[in-house]
Amino acid sequence: MYFESSHVLEMADVDVTDILLAIARSVAESLEAVKIRLQPAYFVNLFREMGDFLQTPIELSEAKFSLPGGIAEITTKMKDSPRLRSQLRQYLEPRTNGILKAINQELLTPATEKLKRIGKKGLVVIIDNLDRLDNTIKPTGELQPVYLFVDRGEQLKQLNCHVVYTIPLFLIFSNALGRLTNRFGVDPKILPMVPVQLRQGGECREGIALLQQMVLARAFPDMNLVQRLDSISELFDHPDTLKRLCQISGGHARQLLMLINRCLERDDPPFSRDCLEDIIRFRRNELTLAITEDEWIFLREVAQQKSLRGEEKYQVLIRDMFVFEYRDSQGSWFDINPMLAEAAEL
């Protein structure tokens, strides 16, 4: 199996150097957890120079240098001050290729060699949350996701290890998709919702069963599948209440967990059907308040056609969780968030 290293970027506004530093920090932290400690000389010098630039010297010595600690100190300063973040990005931008080269030569390559010596097969870096990037316009005139993954994608793909980036779905529906695919040399992989119903209508029993296990596994992690099903009464007043929860989630894991959390905020398990229905009505009201008449027209089209085309409709419908994408043997199909499907407007 691969030795995995992941680090979540918390900033909505992200640049290439943010990603590279996050990767360096995450890999170094994961390596130290298995007693592998590297001393990348480039970063010792870089952080000293950055300390001088910030006029707040960072005390570093090669003997005591901690790459995760150094990056954490820098990123904390960047988060605390938008002005300082802008200055540091201007400082780091012309050094991007040097940072990339140092990560490859002083971190990733020796790390992979050391990991293989202790029986690992390689190194995987997962950069999460980039699907939440804002569509702000960069100085180049491009939207931020296009700037990051298309204009700067050549740098992002030069890391000497297996890398998984999450990207905004916006890119799949935009005119930039062809350039994105050419840049990385692979088609983006889409993770659709877990199906709760079939394209032609009717219940998808397999999908609902998987969602039920997702809920039960969080409450009973040490039980097997059958034991969890036998314990439903500890969480819900009736198995149909759990089934209703899974159906109304539309197979969207985050929405499913959000509904459970709201149930917990209101009452203790076992949750009643009335409690769940109150939560559903409240969430539906939240969603419908944001929908314009034009958007209701779009939603009716999706409900009838089970399809979605164009960047504009993506921006309106998928980004705000009004519509979900599913996959079957025929390919992609779309449907309304079940929360909205029960709205009076539809």
CA–chain centroid gap for 169, Å, is: 11
Q: Is the pLDDT of residue 63 over 70?
A: no
- Give residue-wise pLDDT tens across range 38-59: 878 888 888 878 777 766 655 5
Q: pLDDT value at position 7? A: 46
Q: Cβ–Cβ contacts within 10 Å for residue 223, how many?
A: 14
Q: pLDDT value at position 53? A: 74
To the nearest whole percent, how much of the chain has pLDDT over 90?
35
Q: What is the CA radius of gyration of the chain?
A: 24
Map tokens 């540091």 to a residue: 88
The contacts found for 321-326 with CB under 8 angstroms, 24 or more apart, are: 321/252, 321/255, 321/287, 322/287, 322/291, 322/295, 323/299, 324/192, 324/193, 324/250, 324/251, 324/252, 325/190, 325/192, 325/193, 326/192, 326/193, 326/195, 326/199, 326/251
Helix or strand (DSSP H, E) at 78: helix 67-80
How are beta strands 162-165 and 323-328 bridged, if at all? unpaired
Q: Is the pLDDT of residue 101 over 70?
A: yes
Q: pLDDT value at position 56? A: 60
Can you spell out the DSSP letters for 148-188?
Answer: IIIISHHHHTT-SSEEEE---GGGGGSTTHHHHHHHHSSPP
Q: pLDDT value at position 49? A: 81
Q: Is the pLDDT of residue 233 over 90?
A: yes
What the block records as the tokens of 77 is: 């300063």
Angle, in degrees to the nearest 10, between helices 253-266 and 205-219? 50
Q: What pTM was estimated for this model as a whole?
A: 0.73
SS3 (DSSP) at 11: coil
Which residues have CB under 8 Å from 327's CB, separation 6+?
A: 190, 192, 333
Cα four-point dihedral sign 294, 300, 305, 307: positive
Count the alpha carbons within 13 Å of 24 in the hemisphere toward its beta carbon.
31
Q: Is the pLDDT of residue 345 over 80?
A: yes
The CA distance from 278 to 30, in Å, is: 43
Return the ∠ at Cα 159 (arms to 157 and 162), rounded to 5°. Answer: 85
Q: pLDDT value at position 158? A: 92
14 neighbors 133 (Cβ within 8 angstroms): yes
What the block records as the tokens of 198 is: 């079939």
Q: Which of 162-176, 216-230, 257-271 has the lowest average pLDDT? A: 162-176
Q: Which of 72-81, 132-141, 277-286 has the lowest average pLDDT? A: 72-81
What the block records as the tokens of 270 is: 């076992």
Q: Is the pLDDT of residue 4 over 50?
A: no
